[in-house]
Amino acid sequence: MIEKKLLEKKDWAYYVYEVDNCIALSVPIPKPTPGFDVVHILSESEKEKYLNKGIQFLEGRIEDMKMNFYNYEMNSWK
C-alpha cells in the first residue's frame, strides 16, 4: 500500500502530500461540476525549491492549476 503523508495544507486552497518519495500538490476547484482535485507531481527541481523555500515557491503553480486545470490530472469529488 502506498502511504500518503500530508506535509502542508490550507483548507480549500491547496494540499501538499509526500507519496512514494514524490511530492504532490493538490488544488481543489469547485467547477466544473461536481468539483475536482487538480494534482501535479513536482519535478525534482520543483521539489528541491519547495523544500528550501516553502509554499511561496508554488504560488505560481497553484494559480496555473486553477486556470489551466485541464492540463493536469483531475480527480472528481464524486
End-to-end CA separation in angstroms for the chain: 23
Q: Provide the pLDDT for residue 3.
A: 83
CB 8 within 8 A of CB 55: yes
pLDDT tens profile 41-71: 999 999 999 999 999 999 999 999 999 999 9
Closest by Cα among 33, 35, 37 to 24: 37
pTM (two decimals): 0.92
